[in-house]
Amino acid sequence: MRLDRRDRVAGHPIKKARDFLNYVFRDDEKNAAYVERMAADEAKWFGKDSPAVLGDLLARGWIKKGERIPTLSVAPLEITATFELTEIGKRARIAKLLAPCPRAKGEAIIAGLLKRVDEVNARSELMFFVEELRLFGSMIDPSVEMVGDVDVAVSLVRRKPPKGKGLVEWNEQRAVASGRSSLSFRDIICYGETEVRRLLKARVALLSLHDVSELELIGTKSETLFILEPGSIAKFERASGRSTRKD
C-alpha cells in the first residue's frame, strides 16, 4: 500500500496522519488505544481539528470503534470505549508516500493485470483461480487525472486437489516446484495462495491487491473489473475453499 503524498486528512498532511497512527496504536496494547490518551494525543497532533481527523480516519476504514474491558482484580469491571486499528489501517501506518501517476499509466496496469488473470485461470496446476476483481480508490473517478495506487480487490477460489493429494501436500509440492529456499512451515502450507497472488502482482509497484472482504469492511465504492463466467472453470476443479487472506 502506498499513499499519495498530496493527500490531506481533514486538512492535515497525510504523512502527519500516518505518523499519528504509528504513535498511538502500539503493538504492546494489542492495537487498542484508550480514549483518554487518544484525546490528549489528538489535541497535541491536530488541535481543534481532532474530531474531524478521527472522522476522516473512520471513513477511510483505517480505524474503527471498539470496546476494551480492563483486566482488574479490584472494583467492578468497566467497559472503556476504544478505537482499534483495522487491517487497512495497519498497512496505512507503514505505507510509503508516493507521487501520483497519470491515469493512462493506471489503465495500462489494469490491462496487464487482466491479462495475468487469464493466464492464471488457464493454469490448472495452480491451487487457486481468480473469480472476481473489483477496482476501487482514485481510479474509479474518471475526473481524477493523477491517481495514486491502482487498488484492486481480489476474490480467489481454491481448486479441488488432484485425486489422492491433500492440501498440505499440494502446497508443499508447489513450494518445491518454485525453487524457493528458506521458507517457514507457514510459508509452505500457504504457498499455493501466495504463488497466485505473486503472479497477479508481478512486482508492479503501483498495483495494490486487497481481499474483497476489505471492501465490505470499509464500505467503499467499487467497480467490477472481472468476474468469472459460469462454466469457465470446470466444476470438478472448484473446491469449497475461498481465500480470506488480507494482504
Using CA atoms, how far apart are residues 45 and 54, in angstroms rounded to an integer?
12
- Is 161 a member of any domain? yes
From residue 55, how far is each of 52, 83, 163 by CA, in Å? 5, 11, 52
Write down how long the chain is: 247
pLDDT tens readout for residues 6-30: 889 999 999 999 988 888 776 545 4
Closest by alpha carbon to 134, among 227, 41, 45? 227
Q: Which residue has the cell 498497512?
A: 91
The number of distinct structural domains making up the chain is 2
- Is 30 a member of any domain? yes
Chain-centre distance of CA 115, in angstroms? 22
What is the pLDDT, as a whole number, of residue 236?
A: 55
224/236 same-domain check: yes
Exposed e or buried b for every residue in 138-164, given b needs 16+ CB within 10 A?
bbbeeeeeebbbbbbbbbbbbbebeee
Structural domain span for residue 72: 2-97
- Is 178 a member of any domain? yes
Handedness of CA 9, 10, 16, 21 (dihedral sign): negative
Using CA atoms, how far apart are residues 11 and 13, in angstroms rounded to an integer?
7
What is the pLDDT, as a whole number, of residue 244?
A: 46
- Is 247 a member of any domain? no
- Is 128 a member of any domain? yes
What is the pLDDT, as a whole number, of residue 195?
A: 96
Handedness of CA 179, 182, 186, 187 (dihedral sign): negative
65/122 same-domain check: no
Last residue of some domain: 57, 81, 97?
97
Instruction: List, in order, residues 6 or more apart from 73 with CB less than 8 Å away.
Output: none
What is the pLDDT, as a whole number, of residue 182?
A: 86
132/67 same-domain check: no
118/199 same-domain check: yes
What is the pLDDT, as a whole number, of residue 120?
A: 96
- Is 54 a member of any domain? yes
Phi/psi for 156 (5° steps) reads: -105, 145
21/83 same-domain check: yes
44/143 same-domain check: no
Last residue of some domain: 97, 132, 165?
97
135/56 same-domain check: no
Instruction: List, in order, residues 6 or more apart from 193 with CB less than 8 Å away.
Output: 127, 128, 156, 158, 243, 245
30/116 same-domain check: no
128/226 same-domain check: yes
What is the pLDDT, as a whole number, of residue 240?
A: 56
18/34 same-domain check: yes
162/228 same-domain check: yes
What is the pLDDT, as a whole number, of residue 198?
A: 96
105/88 same-domain check: no
Instruction: Extract the residue ranges of the chain whose pLDDT is less than 70.
Output: 1, 26-42, 67-81, 234-236, 238-247
